[in-house]
């Protein structure tokens, strides 16, 4: 077996870092996180200020272009996005190939991946204009694609987007409304959804973004790369956590059962974890969780849901875990997905759509990071090393000798 010393002698350097806990795979100017201090900046702006003063499309512009837009730039950007909101009828037909009960994330992997077949030769990834158009198309079409994945599962007709509506409002209408009614979204809920989108828009080199970069580093079609990111996001340790939180709360079922589940989460011999608690980078309160917690209370107040048993259960679990020695010592605070799951549930969004909404938000981060990578002169194909632990060289015997 070739051990680390041999590899070091051969290459001059070698690090073994499972999970990339201390290895930077790239340099980036998009998002900054200080996990110990609980700081998150997009292009230098604190997430708290962006969540208060901007909407999702302004934040998308910022992530893509590096600066917040002025009025004229924003009007142009909204116009560009508006031009691409429609889905080609041929793309709409992709959906009929899926089973009705397919998970929306599985549908998203398929449909977004299939965009690479639709917009294939048209994209020169080394052209700034083409990369910009790719980003605009993705941002514009994602609400429709995500809403359609839900509508398809329920058998209800797809809704066309309305250009005059805001991004989050349009999405809510396409998802919850039907052509036979005049769905008008509650502005408090629209703002809450917009905030969820802002808070999930980017988070530097998380698993799904790293996946997009790794796939893109070979020069692959950007929609195929984003589909790879969606696949990665689906897992419960990443974007699937918001769905897992709600499933866990339903499983716990009653406030009286919380201590039993907290004890399970603390038991080393039990694989159960409290979903929505802990974060790889934040060893302090996740700043997004603070904002989402506030939004959560605004929404529960607006909808008079504070007495709903599930929401009561969530608030009690939060209280108990925040006071528990194990969670305090390991710095396991509620993360953004603990609260976003509760907010989405209050908005009437079915649990299986939670991660799909995360994907909608993160699409802008993925495409901004992909764009940054392609235009980086230091960019190389991503090719991690490995620590080989298999058998050393041996001779092959013919099948009759084995």
List residues binding ligand ACO (CB under 6 A): 237-239, 241, 265, 273-280, 330, 332, 335-337
State how far Cα 291 lies from the chain centre.
Answer: 17
* Matching residue, tokens 């079915």: 350
DSSP assignment of 210-261, as one string?
Answer: HHHHHHHTTT--HHHHHHHHHHHHTSTTTTTHHHHHHHHHHHH-SGGGHHHH
Buried b (16+ CB within 10 A) or exposed e, 57-68: bbbbbbbbbeeb
Q: Kindly tell me the sign of the dihedral angle through the C-alpha atoms of 238, 206, 170, 97.
A: negative
**Is the Cβ of residue 162 or residue 266 nearer to ligand ACO in the bound state?**
266
Q: Is 247 exposed, middle or buried (0-12, 13-18, 19+ CB in 10 A)?
A: middle
Nearest approach, Cβ of residue 234 and ligand ACO (Å): 11
Nearest approach, Cβ of residue 378 and ligand ACO (Å): 28
Nearest approach, Cβ of residue 279 and ligand ACO (Å): 5
Rounded-to-integer distance, Cα 197 and Cα 254, Å: 30
Nearest approach, Cβ of residue 330 and ligand ACO (Å): 4
55 HSE (CA, 13 A, CB side): 13
Nearest approach, Cβ of residue 397 and ligand ACO (Å): 42
Q: Which of 55, 324, 337, 371 is catalytic?
A: 337
**Is the Cβ of residue 141 or residue 238 nearer to ligand ACO in the bound state?**
238
In sequence order, what are the residues at sequence separation of 6 or more whose Cβ sits closer than 8 angstroms to the Cβ of residue 120? 221
Query: What's the farthest any 2 CA atoms get from each other in the chain?
Result: 78
**Is the Cβ of residue 71 or residue 384 nearer to ligand ACO in the bound state?**
384
Say if CB 143 and CB 170 are below 8 A apart: yes
**Is the Cβ of residue 135 or residue 332 nearer to ligand ACO in the bound state?**
332
Q: Mark whether 17 is an active-site residue.
A: no
Two structure tokens written together for 160? 């066309």
Helices (H), 84-218: 89-94, 104-118, 128-154, 167-176, 187-199, 207-216
Helices (H), 255-308: 258-266, 287-302
Nearest approach, Cβ of residue 37 and ligand ACO (Å): 17
Say if CB 319 and CB 277 are below 8 A apart: no
**Is the Cβ of residue 173 or residue 362 nearer to ligand ACO in the bound state?**
362
Q: Which of 202, 279, 324, 371 is catalytic?
A: 279
* Matching residue, tokens 């070979």: 218
Two structure tokens written together for 200? 């999930």
**Is the Cβ of residue 318 or residue 337 nearer to ligand ACO in the bound state?**
337
**Is the Cβ of residue 33 or residue 175 nearer to ligand ACO in the bound state?**
33
Nearest approach, Cβ of residue 194 and ligand ACO (Å): 18
Q: Mark whether 34 is an active-site residue.
A: no
Nearest approach, Cβ of residue 390 and ligand ACO (Å): 26
The three-state secondary structure class of 366 is helix
**Is the Cβ of residue 87 or residue 353 nearer to ligand ACO in the bound state?**
353
| Nearest residue (beta carbon) to ligand ACO | 278
Please give the positions annotated as active site: 279, 337
């Amino acid at each position: 077996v070739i051990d680390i010393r041999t590899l070091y002698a051969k290459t001059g350097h070698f690090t073994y870092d499972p999970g990339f806990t201390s290895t930077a795979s790239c340099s980036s100017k998009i998002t900054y996180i200080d996990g110990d201090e609980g700081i998150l900046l997009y292009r230098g702006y604190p997430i708290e200020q962006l969540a208060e003063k901007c909407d999702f499309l302004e934040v998308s512009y910022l992530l893509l272009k590096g600066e917040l837009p002025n009025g004229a730039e924003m009007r142009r950007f909204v116009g560009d996005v508006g031009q691409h909101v429609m889905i080609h009828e041929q793309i709409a037909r992709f959906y009929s190939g899926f089973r009705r009960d397919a998970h929306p994330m599985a549908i998203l992997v398929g449909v977004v991946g299939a965009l690479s077949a639709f917009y294939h030769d048209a994209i020169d990834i080394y052209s700034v204009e083409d990369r910009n158009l790719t980003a605009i198309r993705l941002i514009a079409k994602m609400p429709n694609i995500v809403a359609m994945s839900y509508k398809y599962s329920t058998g209800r007709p797809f809704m066309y987007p309305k250009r005059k509506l805001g991004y989050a409002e349009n999405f809510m209408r396409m998802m919850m409304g039907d052509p036979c009614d005049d769905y008008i979204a509650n502005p408090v809920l629209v703002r809450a959804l917009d905030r969820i989108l802002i808070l999930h828009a980017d988070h530097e080199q998380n698993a799904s973004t790293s996946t997009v970069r790794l796939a893109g580093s070979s020069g692959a079609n950007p929609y195929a790369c984003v589909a790879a990111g969606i696949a990665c996001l689906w897992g419960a340790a990443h974007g699937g956590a918001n769905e897992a939180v709600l499933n866990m709360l339903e499983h716990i079922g009653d406030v009286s059962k919380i201590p039993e589940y907290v004890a399970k989460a603390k038991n080393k011999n039990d694989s159960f974890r409290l979903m929505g608690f802990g974060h790889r980078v934040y060893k302090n309160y996740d700043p997004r969780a603070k904002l989402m917690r506030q939004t959560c209370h605004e929404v529960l107040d607006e909808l008079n849901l504070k007495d709903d048993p599930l929401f009561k259960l969530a608030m009690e679990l939060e209280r108990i875990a925040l006071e528990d020695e194990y969670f305090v010592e390991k710095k396991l605070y509620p993360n953004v997905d603990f609260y976003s799951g509760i907010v989405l549930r209050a908005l009437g969004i079915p649990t299986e759509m939670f991660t799909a909404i995360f994907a909608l938000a993160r699409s802008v981060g993925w495409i901004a990071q992909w764009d940054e990578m392609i235009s980086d002169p230091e960019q190389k194909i991503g090719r991690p090393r490995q620590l080989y632990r298999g058998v050393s060289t041996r001779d092959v015997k013919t099948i009759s000798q084995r």
